[in-house]
Structure 1
Amino acid sequence: MKKKILSSTIIALMFTACSFKMPEMLSFGSSDNYEEPLKEANICQKMEKDSEKLLCYKKIENTNSFAQIRLGTYYVDKKDYTNGVKYLNIAKKNGNIYANLPISFLYYKGEGVNKDVNKSFELLKEASSIDPVAAYQLSRFYLQGINTKVDIEKGLELLDFAGQKGVRQAQEMLSNIYKTGLFEQSRDQVKYQFWQKKLKDNIEDFNHKIYVL
């Protein structure tokens, strides 16, 4: 059975209100100890049925922050914001920086929490040096001047980090930037081809690694 990708709730293009008309790799901080809990949570993710996955995650939900994140995003997708917010906040309290992205989404949209774009922005900033998808989303704030002044240099720096770490949406955006000369950048065939190759060679889904049930 083909693994489903993350739904519209937490996909990397989640901030639809500020989406562009153009359009890892797993990267852990050196001081973080994510490998073992992720490996444990992935046992559940590999199960065939959602009902089996849920039972598996429930068995480890008190000790595994990735189980908490996946349960949180699952419930948010089901519009059960009470449970979704609960699990995501537990994961964040337990020190898993990857919880910032889905929580940021909730604050941006005002779903399950009071809308707070500044909170969304700060959560992304906190996670952006480790989570490349958070870096990608944060780049959009800087490039469009959402909740901050426009900073093309900072936006491109974040995009580059995300693209280098395998975030497909960042690679697509960088390809378009250097193909068409967006954001005051010169058209650059070499850079365009570089990101096109990265995109072609990228067969993994970072969102699936972290957030999908």
Structure 2
Amino acid sequence: MIKKILLPAVTIFMFTACSMKMPTFSMPSFFSSEDKELVSLNEANVCQEIESLDSKLTCYKKILDKNSYAQLRMGTYYADKKEYKDAIKYLNQSKNNDNIYANLALAFLYYKGDGVNKDIDKSFELLKESSHIDPNAAYQLARFYLQGINTKIDNEKGVELINFAASKGVLTAQKMLININREGSFGQPRDQKKVEYWENIVKQNKEDTTFKVYKL
């Protein structure tokens, strides 16, 4: 579902039973922010594993007021349904709760002007802010640099971002590196060893799991 929103388009290179009791997660004050984030992610993943859509949504709604991953996933869910008011609401809540992964979905909406005024500057800045953590954001930001969208063309920066995304398991970035190194695109030298390296990685990467963090 999320891939419909976030997978890059070919032409423009931009973005695609809760009767169970929810576990109680206590977070002592001495927990680090990283610990708390992991607890929130694990809590949201309990909902993600439920098969029934109605039960899944009920599960997320029980934790929606305090869980940034629930907010992120509900935001992308509503964006996919083109219910942009709710999408923006929950994605902004997630971002305000320091969930950097919300940036990618928000960047998509600002890029397309869905539910918000179209703002390429805002889209670009959102991706820049999250690209050091979110590999899918890095991949999308690379397209801005390689095509000169909202910035001057910077092949070195673009390829660097694609390499980062590929190293974190983004399948489309891995496939792109195969072509870059085979063709010598974007000022890169042809490199058959890198072609073969990424071809092997792609064969092993049977499923791109990097989208799971956004997926309802």
TM-score computed with the length of structure 2 as normaliser: 0.87
| CA-atom RMSD in angstroms | 1.7
Letter in 1 for 2:188: Q
Counterpart among 127, 132, 139 of residue 129 in structure 1: 132
When Rg is computed on C-alpha atoms for both structures, the one with the higher figure is 2
Deviation track 1:20-43 (CA, whole Å, cap 9, x = no partner) reads 9xxxxxxxxx96443221111111
Size of the alignment, in residue pairs?
Answer: 198
Q: Relative CO higher for 1 or 2, CA cutoff 8 Å, sep ≥ 6?
A: 1
Letter in 2 for 1:118: D
Counterpart among 62, 65, 70 of residue 62 in structure 1: 65
Letter in 2 for 1:6: I
Letter in 1 for 2:12: C
Relative to structure 1, the CA distance from residue 189 to residue 151 in structure 2 (aligned partners, 3 Å threshold; closer, same or farther) is: same
Q: Give the gaps of 5 or more residues in structure 2.
A: 15-31
CA distance in 1, matches of 2:121, 2:209: 25
Q: CA deviation at 1:141?
A: 0.4
TM-score computed with the length of structure 1 as normaliser: 0.88
- Which stretches of structure 1, 4 residues or longer, exceed 3 Å deviation after superposition? 30-33
Relative to structure 1, the CA distance from residue 98 to residue 55 in structure 2 (aligned partners, 3 Å threshold; closer, same or farther) is: same
Q: Does 1:145 align with 2:148?
A: yes
Percent identity for Structure 1 against Structure 2: 56
CA distance in 2, matches of 1:110, 1:16: 18
State the match for 2:99 in structure 1.
96
Q: Give the gaps of 5 or more residues in structure 1.
A: 21-29
1:11-90 alignment, distance < 5 Å: 11=7, 13=8, 18-19=12-13, 32-33=34-35, 34-90=37-93
Q: CA deviation at 1:186?
A: 1.9
State the match for 2:20 in structure 1.
none
Q: Does 1:196 align with 2:199?
A: yes
CA distance in 1, matches of 2:120, 2:67: 29
Letter in 1 for 2:171: R
Q: Does 1:9 align with 2:5?
A: yes
Asked if the contact 1:81/1:112 (under 8 Å) is kept, the reply is yes
Counterpart among 112, 115, 123 of residue 112 in structure 1: 115
